[in-house]
Structure 1
Protein backbone atom coordinates (compact mmCIF):
# COMPACT_ATOMS: atom_id res chain seq x y z
CA UNK A 1 0.00 0.00 0.00
CA UNK A 2 2.21 2.78 -1.31
CA UNK A 3 1.39 6.48 -1.25
CA UNK A 4 0.91 6.37 -5.03
CA UNK A 5 -1.55 3.49 -4.83
CA UNK A 6 -3.46 5.15 -2.00
CA UNK A 7 -3.72 8.40 -3.99
CA UNK A 8 -5.43 6.46 -6.79
CA UNK A 9 -8.13 5.11 -4.44
CA UNK A 10 -10.20 8.12 -3.35
CA UNK A 11 -13.02 5.93 -2.03
CA UNK A 12 -10.76 3.81 0.17
CA UNK A 13 -11.63 4.14 3.86
CA UNK A 14 -10.34 0.91 5.44
CA UNK A 15 -7.20 -1.20 4.94
CA UNK A 16 -7.11 -4.57 6.72
CA UNK A 17 -3.86 -6.50 7.00
CA UNK A 18 -4.31 -10.22 7.59
CA UNK A 19 -1.60 -10.73 10.13
CA UNK A 20 0.64 -8.67 12.37
CA UNK A 21 2.63 -5.62 11.30
CA UNK A 22 1.66 -2.67 9.12
CA UNK A 23 5.05 -1.65 7.78
CA UNK A 24 3.92 -2.62 4.26
CA UNK A 25 1.38 0.22 4.43
CA UNK A 26 2.41 3.88 4.02
CA UNK A 27 0.88 5.02 7.29
CA UNK A 28 1.59 8.71 6.67
CA UNK A 29 -0.37 8.47 3.43
CA UNK A 30 -3.29 6.69 5.10
CA UNK A 31 -3.41 9.34 7.82
CA UNK A 32 -3.46 12.19 5.31
CA UNK A 33 -6.26 10.48 3.36
CA UNK A 34 -8.32 9.60 6.44
CA UNK A 35 -7.94 5.86 5.95
CA UNK A 36 -8.17 3.49 8.90
CA UNK A 37 -5.57 0.69 9.05
CA UNK A 38 -6.30 -2.38 11.18
CA UNK A 39 -4.53 -5.64 11.91
CA UNK A 40 -6.03 -8.99 12.85
CA UNK A 41 -4.82 -8.90 16.44
CA UNK A 42 -3.88 -12.31 17.86
CA UNK A 43 -4.71 -14.09 14.59
CA UNK A 44 -1.27 -15.68 14.37
CA UNK A 45 0.54 -14.57 17.53
CA UNK A 46 0.84 -18.09 18.93
CA UNK A 47 2.10 -19.46 15.62
CA UNK A 48 4.88 -16.86 15.61
CA UNK A 49 5.75 -17.46 19.26
CA UNK A 50 6.00 -21.22 18.78
CA UNK A 51 8.18 -20.76 15.70
CA UNK A 52 10.52 -18.48 17.66
CA UNK A 53 10.86 -20.97 20.52
CA UNK A 54 11.51 -23.76 18.03
CA UNK A 55 14.30 -21.76 16.40
CA UNK A 56 15.85 -20.84 19.76
CA UNK A 57 16.08 -24.52 20.66
CA UNK A 58 17.30 -25.49 17.17
CA UNK A 59 20.20 -23.05 17.41
CA UNK A 60 21.23 -23.77 20.99
CA UNK A 61 21.00 -27.55 20.57
CA UNK A 62 22.73 -27.39 17.14
CA UNK A 63 19.81 -29.33 15.70
CA UNK A 64 20.18 -28.44 12.03
CA UNK A 65 23.67 -29.93 11.47
CA UNK A 66 22.60 -33.02 13.42
CA UNK A 67 19.64 -33.52 11.10
CA UNK A 68 21.72 -32.80 8.01
CA UNK A 69 24.11 -35.55 9.07
CA UNK A 70 21.24 -38.03 9.01
CA UNK A 71 20.10 -36.90 5.56
CA UNK A 72 23.60 -37.10 4.09
CA UNK A 73 24.33 -40.49 5.64
CA UNK A 74 27.02 -39.44 8.10
CA UNK A 75 27.46 -40.51 11.72
CA UNK A 76 30.11 -38.20 13.17
CA UNK A 77 28.57 -37.46 16.54
CA UNK A 78 31.33 -35.04 17.49
CA UNK A 79 30.37 -32.75 14.62
CA UNK A 80 26.86 -32.47 16.07
CA UNK A 81 27.64 -32.02 19.75
CA UNK A 82 30.63 -29.68 19.51
CA UNK A 83 28.25 -26.68 19.37
CA UNK A 84 25.27 -28.13 21.28
CA UNK A 85 24.21 -26.84 24.71
CA UNK A 86 21.35 -27.16 27.15
CA UNK A 87 19.25 -24.02 27.26
CA UNK A 88 18.60 -24.58 30.98
CA UNK A 89 20.28 -21.87 33.02
CA UNK A 90 20.84 -19.54 30.08
CA UNK A 91 19.72 -15.92 30.04
CA UNK A 92 17.12 -15.19 27.37
CA UNK A 93 16.10 -11.61 26.62
CA UNK A 94 13.11 -10.62 24.51
CA UNK A 95 13.12 -7.39 22.50
CA UNK A 96 9.52 -6.15 22.87
CA UNK A 97 7.10 -7.99 25.14
CA UNK A 98 3.81 -7.50 23.36
CA UNK A 99 1.46 -10.33 22.44
CA UNK A 100 4.16 -12.43 20.79
CA UNK A 101 6.99 -11.52 23.13
CA UNK A 102 4.93 -12.42 26.21
CA UNK A 103 3.91 -15.72 24.62
CA UNK A 104 7.58 -16.53 23.99
CA UNK A 105 8.49 -15.70 27.59
CA UNK A 106 5.73 -17.95 28.93
CA UNK A 107 6.77 -20.85 26.70
CA UNK A 108 10.42 -20.57 27.64
CA UNK A 109 9.84 -20.30 31.39
CA UNK A 110 9.46 -24.10 31.91
CA UNK A 111 12.97 -24.59 30.53
CA UNK A 112 14.36 -23.02 33.72
CA UNK A 113 16.01 -20.13 31.93
CA UNK A 114 16.54 -16.64 33.32
CA UNK A 115 14.13 -14.36 31.48
CA UNK A 116 14.73 -10.72 30.55
CA UNK A 117 12.82 -8.21 28.46
CA UNK A 118 12.74 -4.63 27.27
CA UNK A 119 9.69 -2.78 26.03
CA UNK A 120 8.52 0.82 25.80
CA UNK A 121 5.57 -0.23 27.99
CA UNK A 122 6.55 -2.07 31.15
CA UNK A 123 4.62 -5.24 31.95
CA UNK A 124 2.50 -5.47 35.07
CA UNK A 125 4.19 -6.30 38.38
CA UNK A 126 2.13 -9.50 38.49
CA UNK A 127 3.56 -10.78 35.20
CA UNK A 128 7.09 -9.76 36.16
CA UNK A 129 6.80 -11.71 39.43
CA UNK A 130 5.11 -14.71 37.82
CA UNK A 131 7.87 -15.16 35.24
CA UNK A 132 10.71 -13.79 37.41
CA UNK A 133 11.49 -11.24 34.72
CA UNK A 134 14.41 -8.84 34.69
CA UNK A 135 13.45 -5.62 32.93
CA UNK A 136 15.94 -3.52 30.98
CA UNK A 137 15.58 0.13 29.94
CA UNK A 138 16.65 -0.53 26.35
CA UNK A 139 18.06 -3.08 23.93
CA UNK A 140 21.64 -1.98 24.59
CA UNK A 141 21.31 -2.94 28.25
CA UNK A 142 19.52 -6.21 27.53
CA UNK A 143 21.88 -7.66 24.91
CA UNK A 144 24.88 -7.29 27.22
CA UNK A 145 23.22 -9.48 29.83
CA UNK A 146 21.77 -12.40 27.87
CA UNK A 147 22.80 -15.42 25.81
CA UNK A 148 19.80 -15.56 23.47
CA UNK A 149 17.87 -12.64 21.97
CA UNK A 150 14.45 -13.24 20.35
CA UNK A 151 13.32 -10.09 18.50
CA UNK A 152 9.60 -9.24 18.44
CA UNK A 153 9.56 -5.48 17.90
CA UNK A 154 7.73 -3.71 15.07
CA UNK A 155 9.78 -2.07 12.34
CA UNK A 156 9.85 1.72 12.62
CA UNK A 157 12.58 4.38 12.43
CA UNK A 158 13.78 3.65 15.98
CA UNK A 159 14.22 -0.08 15.32
CA UNK A 160 15.50 0.10 11.74
CA UNK A 161 18.98 -1.52 11.75
CA UNK A 162 18.91 -1.58 15.55
CA UNK A 163 21.15 -4.64 15.46
CA UNK A 164 24.13 -3.10 13.72
CA UNK A 165 27.85 -3.76 14.16
CA UNK A 166 28.01 -1.61 17.28
CA UNK A 167 25.14 -3.27 19.13
CA UNK A 168 26.11 -6.79 18.10
CA UNK A 169 29.70 -6.22 19.23
CA UNK A 170 28.39 -5.37 22.71
CA UNK A 171 26.65 -8.75 23.04
CA UNK A 172 28.20 -11.70 24.84
CA UNK A 173 30.50 -13.50 22.45
CA UNK A 174 28.76 -16.65 21.24
CA UNK A 175 25.21 -15.33 21.71
CA UNK A 176 22.26 -16.24 19.51
CA UNK A 177 19.72 -14.04 17.71
CA UNK A 178 16.26 -15.18 16.57
CA UNK A 179 14.34 -12.63 14.53
CA UNK A 180 10.72 -13.38 13.64
CA UNK A 181 9.77 -9.70 13.53
CA UNK A 182 11.16 -7.81 10.53
CA UNK A 183 14.48 -8.38 8.75
CA UNK A 184 15.44 -4.70 8.65
CA UNK A 185 15.58 -4.52 12.43
CA UNK A 186 18.98 -6.08 11.80
CA UNK A 187 21.72 -4.91 9.47
CA UNK A 188 22.00 -7.71 6.91
CA UNK A 189 25.76 -7.57 6.45
CA UNK A 190 26.45 -6.97 10.14
CA UNK A 191 24.78 -10.32 10.87
CA UNK A 192 26.98 -12.04 8.27
CA UNK A 193 30.12 -10.46 9.72
CA UNK A 194 29.15 -11.42 13.28
CA UNK A 195 28.71 -15.06 12.29
CA UNK A 196 31.98 -15.11 10.39
CA UNK A 197 33.86 -13.71 13.40
CA UNK A 198 31.94 -15.96 15.86
CA UNK A 199 30.71 -12.90 17.74
CA UNK A 200 27.32 -14.60 17.52
CA UNK A 201 27.00 -18.40 17.44
CA UNK A 202 23.84 -18.54 15.37
CA UNK A 203 21.11 -16.54 13.67
CA UNK A 204 17.61 -17.74 12.83
CA UNK A 205 14.34 -16.25 11.72
CA UNK A 206 12.07 -16.26 8.73
CA UNK A 207 11.85 -12.61 7.77
CA UNK A 208 13.95 -11.30 4.89
CA UNK A 209 14.59 -8.07 3.03
CA UNK A 210 13.63 -7.98 0.30
CA UNK A 211 11.07 -10.75 0.09
CA UNK A 212 11.53 -13.06 -1.64
CA UNK A 213 15.30 -12.76 -1.29
CA UNK A 214 17.60 -13.04 -4.26
CA UNK A 215 19.24 -16.38 -4.94
CA UNK A 216 22.57 -14.94 -3.80
CA UNK A 217 21.24 -13.35 -0.60
CA UNK A 218 24.02 -13.99 1.96
CA UNK A 219 21.62 -15.22 4.62
CA UNK A 220 20.88 -18.28 2.49
CA UNK A 221 24.41 -19.60 2.84
CA UNK A 222 25.95 -17.89 5.89
CA UNK A 223 27.30 -20.22 8.55
CA UNK A 224 25.22 -21.38 11.52
CA UNK A 225 21.92 -20.01 10.26
CA UNK A 226 18.49 -21.47 10.85
CA UNK A 227 16.55 -19.36 8.37
CA UNK A 228 13.17 -20.42 7.01
CA UNK A 229 10.86 -18.86 4.45
CA UNK A 230 8.35 -16.31 5.77
CA UNK A 231 5.92 -18.93 7.01
CA UNK A 232 5.89 -18.53 10.79
CA UNK A 233 2.44 -16.97 10.93
CA UNK A 234 0.83 -19.14 8.27
CA UNK A 235 0.18 -22.45 9.99
CA UNK A 236 -3.16 -24.04 9.21
CA UNK A 237 -4.22 -23.07 12.73
CA UNK A 238 -3.41 -19.41 12.09
CA UNK A 239 -5.14 -19.45 8.70
CA UNK A 240 -8.25 -20.86 10.34
CA UNK A 241 -8.17 -18.02 12.88
CA UNK A 242 -8.06 -15.49 10.02
CA UNK A 243 -10.75 -17.22 7.98
CA UNK A 244 -13.77 -15.31 9.43
CA UNK A 245 -12.33 -12.14 7.91
Structure 2
Protein backbone atom coordinates (compact mmCIF):
# COMPACT_ATOMS: atom_id res chain seq x y z
CA UNK A 1 0.00 0.00 0.00
CA UNK A 2 1.16 3.51 -0.78
CA UNK A 3 1.60 6.64 1.26
CA UNK A 4 0.28 9.70 -0.58
CA UNK A 5 1.53 13.07 0.68
CA UNK A 6 -0.67 15.94 -0.49
CA UNK A 7 0.31 19.60 0.02
CA UNK A 8 -2.57 22.06 -0.36
CA UNK A 9 -3.14 25.70 0.52
CA UNK A 10 -4.73 26.54 3.88
CA UNK A 11 -8.48 26.80 4.40
CA UNK A 12 -10.18 30.23 4.30
CA UNK A 13 -9.39 32.37 7.34
CA UNK A 14 -13.11 32.38 8.17
CA UNK A 15 -13.31 28.60 8.02
CA UNK A 16 -14.32 26.08 5.37
CA UNK A 17 -17.36 27.40 3.47
CA UNK A 18 -20.75 26.14 4.74
CA UNK A 19 -22.31 27.33 1.47
CA UNK A 20 -21.25 28.73 -1.89
CA UNK A 21 -22.21 31.74 -4.01
CA UNK A 22 -23.68 29.48 -6.71
CA UNK A 23 -25.50 26.18 -6.58
CA UNK A 24 -23.62 24.61 -9.48
CA UNK A 25 -20.91 25.13 -12.07
CA UNK A 26 -21.39 24.81 -15.84
CA UNK A 27 -20.81 21.41 -17.42
CA UNK A 28 -17.86 21.51 -19.83
CA UNK A 29 -17.84 18.48 -22.13
CA UNK A 30 -14.45 18.87 -23.82
CA UNK A 31 -11.51 21.21 -24.17
CA UNK A 32 -11.21 23.50 -27.22
CA UNK A 33 -8.66 21.23 -28.92
CA UNK A 34 -10.94 18.22 -28.54
CA UNK A 35 -9.01 16.68 -25.64
CA UNK A 36 -11.36 14.90 -23.28
CA UNK A 37 -11.82 16.12 -19.74
CA UNK A 38 -10.49 14.07 -16.81
CA UNK A 39 -12.25 10.73 -16.75
CA UNK A 40 -11.77 8.93 -13.44
CA UNK A 41 -13.98 5.95 -12.72
CA UNK A 42 -15.67 7.94 -9.97
CA UNK A 43 -15.36 11.09 -7.85
CA UNK A 44 -16.15 11.62 -4.18
CA UNK A 45 -16.87 15.35 -4.28
CA UNK A 46 -19.45 17.78 -5.61
CA UNK A 47 -18.09 19.95 -8.44
CA UNK A 48 -18.05 23.56 -7.29
CA UNK A 49 -16.85 22.77 -3.78
CA UNK A 50 -13.58 24.13 -2.39
CA UNK A 51 -11.27 21.19 -3.11
CA UNK A 52 -7.86 22.85 -3.33
CA UNK A 53 -7.50 23.72 0.34
CA UNK A 54 -6.54 21.39 3.16
CA UNK A 55 -10.07 20.41 4.20
CA UNK A 56 -11.07 19.80 0.58
CA UNK A 57 -8.32 17.16 0.22
CA UNK A 58 -8.92 17.13 -3.57
CA UNK A 59 -11.77 14.76 -2.76
CA UNK A 60 -9.27 11.89 -2.46
CA UNK A 61 -9.55 10.49 1.07
CA UNK A 62 -12.46 8.09 0.59
CA UNK A 63 -10.95 6.68 -2.62
CA UNK A 64 -7.46 6.21 -1.22
CA UNK A 65 -8.36 4.84 2.19
CA UNK A 66 -10.91 2.41 0.73
CA UNK A 67 -8.04 0.93 -1.27
CA UNK A 68 -5.83 0.70 1.83
CA UNK A 69 -3.56 3.63 1.03
CA UNK A 70 -2.54 6.35 3.50
CA UNK A 71 -3.31 9.99 2.74
CA UNK A 72 -1.47 12.79 4.55
CA UNK A 73 -2.70 16.31 3.77
CA UNK A 74 -0.89 19.42 4.95
CA UNK A 75 -0.27 23.07 4.16
CA UNK A 76 2.90 23.15 6.27
CA UNK A 77 5.64 22.97 3.67
CA UNK A 78 8.45 25.38 4.55
CA UNK A 79 11.62 24.57 6.43
CA UNK A 80 13.29 21.46 7.85
CA UNK A 81 10.72 21.09 10.63
CA UNK A 82 7.65 21.33 8.37
CA UNK A 83 5.16 18.50 8.22
CA UNK A 84 5.96 18.09 4.52
CA UNK A 85 9.66 17.60 5.33
CA UNK A 86 8.88 15.10 8.09
CA UNK A 87 6.46 13.05 5.98
CA UNK A 88 8.48 13.07 2.75
CA UNK A 89 11.09 10.32 3.38
CA UNK A 90 8.59 7.44 3.21
CA UNK A 91 6.10 8.97 0.75
CA UNK A 92 5.42 7.02 -2.44
CA UNK A 93 3.42 9.81 -4.12
CA UNK A 94 3.58 13.58 -3.64
CA UNK A 95 0.75 15.82 -4.85
CA UNK A 96 1.21 19.57 -4.93
CA UNK A 97 -0.33 22.64 -6.57
CA UNK A 98 1.39 25.48 -8.44
CA UNK A 99 -0.52 27.91 -6.20
CA UNK A 100 1.06 26.53 -3.00
CA UNK A 101 3.99 24.53 -4.34
CA UNK A 102 5.85 21.95 -2.32
CA UNK A 103 9.27 22.47 -3.89
CA UNK A 104 10.87 19.13 -4.66
CA UNK A 105 14.48 20.24 -4.77
CA UNK A 106 17.39 17.87 -5.43
CA UNK A 107 18.04 17.84 -1.67
CA UNK A 108 14.46 16.91 -0.85
CA UNK A 109 14.32 14.31 -3.62
CA UNK A 110 17.48 12.73 -2.20
CA UNK A 111 15.61 12.18 1.09
CA UNK A 112 12.50 10.80 -0.62
CA UNK A 113 13.85 7.32 -1.23
CA UNK A 114 10.44 5.76 -1.92
CA UNK A 115 9.06 8.51 -4.12
CA UNK A 116 7.95 7.23 -7.51
CA UNK A 117 5.27 9.70 -8.61
CA UNK A 118 4.95 13.49 -8.30
CA UNK A 119 1.62 14.97 -9.42
CA UNK A 120 0.84 18.62 -10.03
CA UNK A 121 -2.82 19.33 -9.25
CA UNK A 122 -3.07 21.87 -12.03
CA UNK A 123 -0.56 22.90 -14.70
CA UNK A 124 3.16 23.57 -14.36
CA UNK A 125 5.67 21.21 -12.78
CA UNK A 126 8.69 23.49 -12.41
CA UNK A 127 8.46 23.21 -8.60
CA UNK A 128 9.85 19.69 -9.16
CA UNK A 129 13.52 19.50 -10.07
CA UNK A 130 12.90 17.71 -13.33
CA UNK A 131 16.54 16.84 -14.00
CA UNK A 132 16.70 14.97 -10.70
CA UNK A 133 13.35 13.31 -11.38
CA UNK A 134 14.73 12.08 -14.70
CA UNK A 135 17.89 10.83 -13.04
CA UNK A 136 15.90 9.04 -10.32
CA UNK A 137 13.28 7.58 -12.66
CA UNK A 138 10.45 9.42 -10.88
CA UNK A 139 7.31 9.96 -12.94
CA UNK A 140 6.06 13.56 -12.99
CA UNK A 141 2.52 14.26 -14.17
CA UNK A 142 0.13 17.19 -14.24
CA UNK A 143 -3.49 17.76 -15.23
CA UNK A 144 -2.90 19.42 -18.58
CA UNK A 145 -5.61 21.82 -19.80
CA UNK A 146 -7.60 21.53 -16.55
CA UNK A 147 -7.40 25.25 -15.85
CA UNK A 148 -5.94 26.71 -19.05
CA UNK A 149 -9.10 28.61 -20.02
CA UNK A 150 -9.45 30.00 -16.51
CA UNK A 151 -5.89 31.35 -16.71
CA UNK A 152 -6.65 32.86 -20.13
CA UNK A 153 -9.76 34.56 -18.72
CA UNK A 154 -7.73 35.91 -15.80
CA UNK A 155 -5.14 37.24 -18.25
CA UNK A 156 -7.74 39.15 -20.26
CA UNK A 157 -9.21 40.54 -17.04
CA UNK A 158 -5.81 41.82 -15.94
CA UNK A 159 -5.01 43.32 -19.35
CA UNK A 160 -8.22 45.32 -19.19
CA UNK A 161 -7.70 46.23 -15.53
CA UNK A 162 -4.27 47.68 -16.31
CA UNK A 163 -5.08 49.48 -19.54
CA UNK A 164 -8.36 50.94 -18.25
CA UNK A 165 -6.72 51.59 -14.84
CA UNK A 166 -9.64 49.89 -13.12
CA UNK A 167 -8.13 49.25 -9.67
CA UNK A 168 -7.54 52.92 -8.69
CA UNK A 169 -11.04 53.78 -9.95
CA UNK A 170 -12.54 51.09 -7.72
CA UNK A 171 -10.50 52.39 -4.78
CA UNK A 172 -11.93 55.88 -5.36
CA UNK A 173 -15.43 54.44 -5.00
CA UNK A 174 -14.52 52.49 -1.86
CA UNK A 175 -13.03 55.66 -0.40
CA UNK A 176 -16.22 57.66 -1.01
CA UNK A 177 -14.73 59.83 -3.75
CA UNK A 178 -15.90 60.95 -7.19
CA UNK A 179 -12.93 62.72 -8.72
CA UNK A 180 -13.28 61.73 -12.37
CA UNK A 181 -10.10 63.50 -13.48
CA UNK A 182 -8.06 61.42 -11.06
CA UNK A 183 -9.91 58.30 -12.14
CA UNK A 184 -9.16 58.66 -15.84
CA UNK A 185 -5.72 60.29 -15.88
CA UNK A 186 -4.09 56.88 -16.63
CA UNK A 187 -7.02 55.20 -18.40
CA UNK A 188 -6.77 54.17 -22.06
CA UNK A 189 -8.74 52.11 -24.57
CA UNK A 190 -7.41 48.68 -25.45
CA UNK A 191 -8.91 49.04 -28.93
CA UNK A 192 -6.23 49.68 -31.53
CA UNK A 193 -3.33 48.68 -29.31
CA UNK A 194 -0.75 46.12 -30.38
CA UNK A 195 -0.72 43.07 -28.13
CA UNK A 196 2.05 40.47 -28.03
CA UNK A 197 1.64 36.93 -26.75
CA UNK A 198 4.81 35.18 -25.64
CA UNK A 199 4.21 31.43 -26.04
CA UNK A 200 1.04 30.53 -27.93
CA UNK A 201 0.28 27.13 -26.44
CA UNK A 202 -3.07 26.24 -24.87
CA UNK A 203 -3.25 29.35 -22.68
CA UNK A 204 -1.58 31.76 -25.09
CA UNK A 205 -3.79 30.73 -27.96
CA UNK A 206 -6.90 31.08 -25.79
CA UNK A 207 -5.75 34.62 -24.92
CA UNK A 208 -5.34 35.40 -28.63
CA UNK A 209 -8.85 34.15 -29.35
CA UNK A 210 -10.36 36.19 -26.52
CA UNK A 211 -8.51 39.42 -27.25
CA UNK A 212 -9.09 39.42 -31.00
CA UNK A 213 -12.67 40.82 -30.72
CA UNK A 214 -11.32 43.88 -28.88
CA UNK A 215 -9.96 45.27 -32.14
CA UNK A 216 -6.30 44.88 -31.22
CA UNK A 217 -3.38 44.05 -33.50
CA UNK A 218 -1.99 40.72 -32.41
CA UNK A 219 1.63 39.53 -32.42
CA UNK A 220 3.14 36.34 -31.01
CA UNK A 221 6.29 34.30 -30.52
CA UNK A 222 6.41 30.57 -29.89
CA UNK A 223 8.80 27.68 -30.35
CA UNK A 224 6.23 26.19 -32.71
CA UNK A 225 4.65 28.48 -35.29
CA UNK A 226 0.87 28.33 -35.51
CA UNK A 227 -0.77 27.10 -38.74
CA UNK A 228 -1.12 29.69 -41.50
CA UNK A 229 -4.92 29.62 -41.36
CA UNK A 230 -4.84 30.47 -37.63
CA UNK A 231 -2.45 33.36 -38.26
CA UNK A 232 -4.75 34.64 -41.00
CA UNK A 233 -7.93 34.26 -38.94
CA UNK A 234 -6.61 36.39 -36.08
CA UNK A 235 -4.36 38.70 -38.10
CA UNK A 236 -1.29 37.42 -36.24
CA UNK A 237 2.22 38.68 -36.83
CA UNK A 238 4.84 36.05 -35.97
CA UNK A 239 8.18 37.03 -34.40
CA UNK A 240 11.23 34.78 -34.29
CA UNK A 241 12.11 35.76 -30.73
CA UNK A 242 10.78 37.70 -27.78
CA UNK A 243 13.21 40.56 -28.33
CA UNK A 244 11.68 41.28 -31.70
CA UNK A 245 8.19 40.85 -30.26
CA UNK A 246 8.41 43.28 -27.35
CA UNK A 247 9.64 46.18 -29.49
CA UNK A 248 6.40 46.16 -31.49
CA UNK A 249 3.71 45.92 -28.82
CA UNK A 250 1.91 48.00 -26.21
CA UNK A 251 0.83 44.99 -24.14
CA UNK A 252 2.78 41.77 -23.54
CA UNK A 253 1.23 38.62 -22.08
CA UNK A 254 3.51 35.79 -20.93
CA UNK A 255 2.57 32.10 -21.06
CA UNK A 256 5.88 30.20 -21.32
CA UNK A 257 6.99 27.47 -18.93
CA UNK A 258 9.82 28.23 -16.54
CA UNK A 259 13.02 26.78 -17.99
CA UNK A 260 16.67 27.79 -17.85
CA UNK A 261 16.02 29.60 -21.12
CA UNK A 262 13.14 31.68 -19.76
CA UNK A 263 14.33 32.25 -16.17
CA UNK A 264 14.97 35.98 -15.67
CA UNK A 265 14.17 36.67 -19.32
CA UNK A 266 12.23 39.87 -18.60
CA UNK A 267 15.21 41.87 -17.41
CA UNK A 268 16.39 45.49 -17.55
CA UNK A 269 17.63 45.12 -21.10
CA UNK A 270 14.41 43.62 -22.44
CA UNK A 271 12.26 46.16 -20.59
CA UNK A 272 14.36 49.03 -21.95
CA UNK A 273 13.58 47.87 -25.49
CA UNK A 274 9.80 48.09 -24.98
CA UNK A 275 7.70 51.12 -25.82
CA UNK A 276 7.48 53.58 -22.95
CA UNK A 277 4.19 53.05 -21.16
CA UNK A 278 3.82 49.37 -22.09
CA UNK A 279 1.98 46.83 -19.97
CA UNK A 280 2.96 43.28 -19.01
CA UNK A 281 0.63 40.55 -17.75
CA UNK A 282 2.47 37.42 -16.60
CA UNK A 283 0.29 34.51 -15.42
CA UNK A 284 3.01 31.97 -16.28
CA UNK A 285 5.80 31.92 -13.68
CA UNK A 286 7.13 34.75 -11.55
CA UNK A 287 10.78 33.84 -12.08
CA UNK A 288 10.49 34.53 -15.82
CA UNK A 289 10.69 38.18 -14.77
CA UNK A 290 13.59 39.77 -12.92
CA UNK A 291 11.84 40.92 -9.75
CA UNK A 292 13.73 44.16 -9.22
CA UNK A 293 13.90 45.05 -12.92
CA UNK A 294 10.08 45.08 -13.01
CA UNK A 295 9.99 47.41 -9.98
CA UNK A 296 12.51 49.75 -11.59
CA UNK A 297 10.59 49.83 -14.86
CA UNK A 298 7.35 50.77 -13.10
CA UNK A 299 9.01 53.42 -10.97
CA UNK A 300 10.72 54.99 -13.99
CA UNK A 301 7.61 54.94 -16.17
CA UNK A 302 9.09 52.54 -18.71
CA UNK A 303 6.19 50.25 -17.82
CA UNK A 304 2.72 51.71 -17.27
CA UNK A 305 1.57 48.58 -15.46
CA UNK A 306 2.44 45.02 -14.48
CA UNK A 307 0.04 42.28 -13.45
CA UNK A 308 -0.07 38.56 -13.08
CA UNK A 309 -0.58 36.11 -10.29
CA UNK A 310 2.70 34.27 -10.17
CA UNK A 311 5.54 35.10 -7.80
CA UNK A 312 8.96 33.81 -6.84
CA UNK A 313 8.89 32.29 -4.32
CA UNK A 314 5.33 31.24 -3.54
CA UNK A 315 3.76 32.19 -1.24
CA UNK A 316 5.41 35.58 -1.58
CA UNK A 317 6.80 37.06 1.65
CA UNK A 318 4.99 40.05 3.12
CA UNK A 319 7.82 42.36 2.12
CA UNK A 320 7.99 41.22 -1.51
CA UNK A 321 8.42 44.45 -3.53
CA UNK A 322 5.73 43.46 -6.02
CA UNK A 323 3.15 43.97 -3.27
CA UNK A 324 3.98 47.68 -3.00
CA UNK A 325 5.33 48.65 -6.43
CA UNK A 326 3.30 51.30 -8.31
CA UNK A 327 0.66 50.56 -10.95
CA UNK A 328 0.43 46.82 -10.41
CA UNK A 329 -2.51 44.44 -10.49
CA UNK A 330 -1.05 41.33 -8.85
CA UNK A 331 -3.16 38.49 -7.45
CA UNK A 332 -1.97 35.60 -5.21
CA UNK A 333 -1.82 32.88 -7.91
CA UNK A 334 -5.54 32.36 -8.17
CA UNK A 335 -6.02 32.32 -11.94
CA UNK A 336 -5.99 28.53 -12.21
CA UNK A 337 -7.83 27.60 -9.05
CA UNK A 338 -11.38 28.81 -9.55
CA UNK A 339 -13.97 26.41 -8.14
CA UNK A 340 -14.60 25.12 -11.67
CA UNK A 341 -10.89 24.63 -12.26
CA UNK A 342 -10.55 22.76 -8.97
CA UNK A 343 -13.23 20.28 -10.01
CA UNK A 344 -11.28 19.45 -13.17
CA UNK A 345 -7.83 19.21 -11.66
CA UNK A 346 -9.11 17.18 -8.69
CA UNK A 347 -10.75 14.74 -11.11
CA UNK A 348 -7.53 14.64 -13.14
CA UNK A 349 -5.45 13.79 -10.08
CA UNK A 350 -7.89 10.97 -9.29
CA UNK A 351 -7.58 9.69 -12.88
CA UNK A 352 -3.77 9.72 -12.69
CA UNK A 353 -3.82 7.85 -9.38
CA UNK A 354 -6.31 5.29 -10.67
CA UNK A 355 -4.04 4.59 -13.64
CA UNK A 356 -0.92 4.48 -11.50
CA UNK A 357 -2.28 2.06 -8.91
CA UNK A 358 -3.77 -0.19 -11.60
CA UNK A 359 -0.53 -0.31 -13.56
CA UNK A 360 -2.13 1.37 -16.58
CA UNK A 361 -0.42 3.98 -18.71
CA UNK A 362 -1.04 7.59 -17.69
CA UNK A 363 -2.36 9.45 -20.71
CA UNK A 364 0.46 11.22 -22.60
CA UNK A 365 -0.98 14.73 -22.27
CA UNK A 366 -0.59 14.42 -18.48
CA UNK A 367 3.02 13.25 -18.56
CA UNK A 368 6.01 15.52 -17.98
CA UNK A 369 8.68 12.96 -17.07
CA UNK A 370 8.49 9.17 -17.33
CA UNK A 371 11.04 6.40 -17.58
CA UNK A 372 14.02 8.66 -17.09
CA UNK A 373 13.15 11.13 -19.85
CA UNK A 374 10.79 13.92 -20.76
CA UNK A 375 7.53 12.46 -22.04
CA UNK A 376 4.20 13.60 -23.44
CA UNK A 377 3.54 17.25 -22.70
CA UNK A 378 6.92 17.53 -21.00
CA UNK A 379 8.74 16.60 -24.21
CA UNK A 380 6.85 19.39 -26.00
CA UNK A 381 7.16 22.08 -23.33
CA UNK A 382 10.44 21.50 -21.48
CA UNK A 383 12.72 19.59 -23.80
CA UNK A 384 15.01 21.57 -26.07
CA UNK A 385 13.59 21.80 -29.57
Q: Distance in 2 between matches of 1:144 and 1:226?
A: 23
Matches within 5 A, 1:43-192: 43-192=146-295
Q: Distance in 1 between matches of 2:138 and 2:342?
A: 26
Kindly state the Cα deviation for residue 14 of structure 1 after the two structures are TM-superposed: 2.3
Kindly state the Cα deviation for residue 38 of structure 1 after the two structures are TM-superposed: 1.4
> In the alignment, which residue of structure 2 is the partner of 1:25?
128
Kindly state the Cα deviation for residue 10 of structure 1 after the two structures are TM-superposed: 3.6
Matching residue within 297, 302, 324 for 1:194: 297
Larger radius of gyration: 2
CA offsets 1:197-244 (integer angstroms, 9 cap, x no match): 100100001111122222221111111000111111000110011122
CA offsets 1:78-119 (integer angstroms, 9 cap, x no match): 111111111011000001001000000000011010011001
Q: Distance in 2 between matches of 1:85 and 1:99?
A: 28
Q: Distance in 2 between matches of 1:96 and 1:138?
A: 10
Aligned length: 245
> In the alignment, which residue of structure 2 is the partner of 1:214?
317
Kindly state the Cα deviation for residue 130 of structure 1 after the two structures are TM-superposed: 1.3
CA offsets 1:173-203 (integer angstroms, 9 cap, x no match): 0000001011111111111110111001000
TM-score (norm 2): 0.62
The answer for unaligned runs of 5 or more in structure 1 is none
The answer for unaligned runs of 5 or more in structure 2 is 1-103, 351-385
Q: Distance in 1 between matches of 2:321 and 2:233?
A: 41
> Is contact 2:220–2:237 with CA below 8 Å preserved after alignment?
yes
Q: Distance in 2 between matches of 1:87 and 1:113?
A: 7
Q: Secondary structure at the match of 2:281?
A: strand
Q: Secondary structure at the match of 2:109?
A: helix
**Aligned Cα RMSD in Å?**
1.0
> Is contact 2:194–2:249 with CA below 8 Å preserved after alignment?
yes
Kindly state the Cα deviation for residue 24 of structure 1 after the two structures are TM-superposed: 0.3
TM-score (norm 1): 0.97
CA offsets 1:107-159 (integer angstroms, 9 cap, x no match): 00110100110011111112111111100001100000000001111111111
Q: Secondary structure at the match of 1:243?
A: helix
> Is contact 2:121–2:346 with CA below 8 Å preserved after alignment?
no
